[in-house]
Amino acid sequence: MSTQWDPERYLAFAGERGRPFIDLVTRIDSTDPRVVVDLGCGPGNLTSLLADRWPDAAVTGVDSSADMVRATSDTKAAGRITFRQADLRAWLAEAAPGSVDVLVSNATLQWIPEHLELVPALVRAVAPGGWLAFQVPGNHDEPSHTLRAALAAEPPYAVHTAGAAHVSAHDAATYLRALQALGCTVDAWETTYLHVLHGPDPVFTWISGTGARPTLQALPDDLRPRFEEELKARLRTAYPDEGHGVVLPFRRIFVVAQVA
C-alpha cells in the first residue's frame, strides 16, 4: 500500500526536523550552481532554503507524494521553485548525466531498501565538480523504532502490518567507501541531536508523521486506535517526562561528496 503523507503532521516539529538539513547544506562548498535539485522535498519548506542560498540557480523540488507537492504552495518557496511529483528512482532514470550542479536528498533514501545501489546513478546525475549531499536516520535501534516494530509484530496487528514500509540505512563509513570508489571526495559524519519535546505523547506525534506512518496506515480502522494507545503507553515509559519535556535522541548520518 502506498503511504499517504500528512504535511501538517510532518511540520509539527518543523524546527527540529530542519536542523539536519541546515547542517547538511552548510557543508556544500558550491558558490554559483546553475541547477539545484532536492530529491524528496516534502512540503518544500526546506527547499526554499536552497533558493535562498543560491538565488540565481534553477531550483527543483521532487517528491513522490501528491499531498506533499500540493502543500508546497503554502510555503515561501511557492513561485520561486519548480516542484514536481515523481518517484526518486523514476527521476534518476530520466535525469541526463551531469545535468545537476547540487543534488540534495534529505531524509528520503532510507525509504528505498536498495538505495545503496542507486549511489552510482546519483553521482552520474551530478556535473563534474558538482555536489551530492544527503542525510538519513541512524536511530533504528532507538525505542521510537523498536517498540513500534515489536508491537506491530504482535497479534492481532501482525497480519496487517507485515508488509508495511520501514526505514533502513547504512552507517557513514559504508556511504563514504561507496562514493570514494566512484572517484568522489567525501565528507561523512554523524550527529545525535537531543530534541526536547513537549505536549501530550510527543514522541508518538513525532513518529506518526514519519517512521510509524506506514504501519499506522496498514491497520484497519477498528484496530488502529487500540494500537496507537498501546504504543503511546510504551513510548511514555521509554521516554519519560521528568518535568522539563521529553528528550528524544535523534541520530543522523550525513554525507557530502564532490563529484570528480
DSSP string, 132-143: EEEEEE--TTSH
Q: Which positions ≥6 away from 88 have C-beta within 8 Å? A: 39, 40, 62, 64, 105, 108, 109, 112, 118
Grid cell in block for residue 216: 499506522
Q: Whole-angstrom Cα distance, residue 89 to residue 60? A: 16
Q: Which positions ≥6 away from 124 have C-beta within 8 Å? A: 95, 97, 98
**What is the pTM (predicted TM-score) of this model?**
0.91
Confidence at residue 73, expressed as pLDDT on a 0 to 100 scale: 76
Nearest 10 degrees: CA dihedral of 221, 225, 230, 233?
Answer: 150
Grid cell in block for residue 214: 506506514
Confidence at residue 76, expressed as pLDDT on a 0 to 100 scale: 62
Each residue's pLDDT, cut to its tens digit, for the chain (260 residues) gives: 455 545 455 455 567 778 999 999 999 999 999 999 999 998 888 999 999 999 999 999 999 999 889 888 766 666 789 999 999 999 999 999 999 999 999 999 999 999 999 999 999 999 999 999 999 999 999 999 999 999 999 999 999 999 898 889 999 999 999 999 999 999 999 999 999 999 999 999 999 888 888 999 999 999 999 999 999 999 999 999 999 999 999 999 999 999 99
**Domains of the chain and CATH, by start:** 7-258 (3.40.50.150)
Confidence at residue 77, expressed as pLDDT on a 0 to 100 scale: 62
Q: How many alpha carbons fall within 13 Å on the CB side of residue 98?
A: 4
Q: Which positions ≥6 away from 59 have C-beta within 8 Å? A: 36, 37, 38, 47, 50, 51, 80, 81, 82
Grid cell in block for residue 113: 531498501
- C-alpha distances in Å from residue 133, one per residue of 45, 215, 255: 18, 29, 6
Confidence at residue 211, expressed as pLDDT on a 0 to 100 scale: 80
The beta strands (E) that lie in 95-175 are given as: 100-106, 126-137
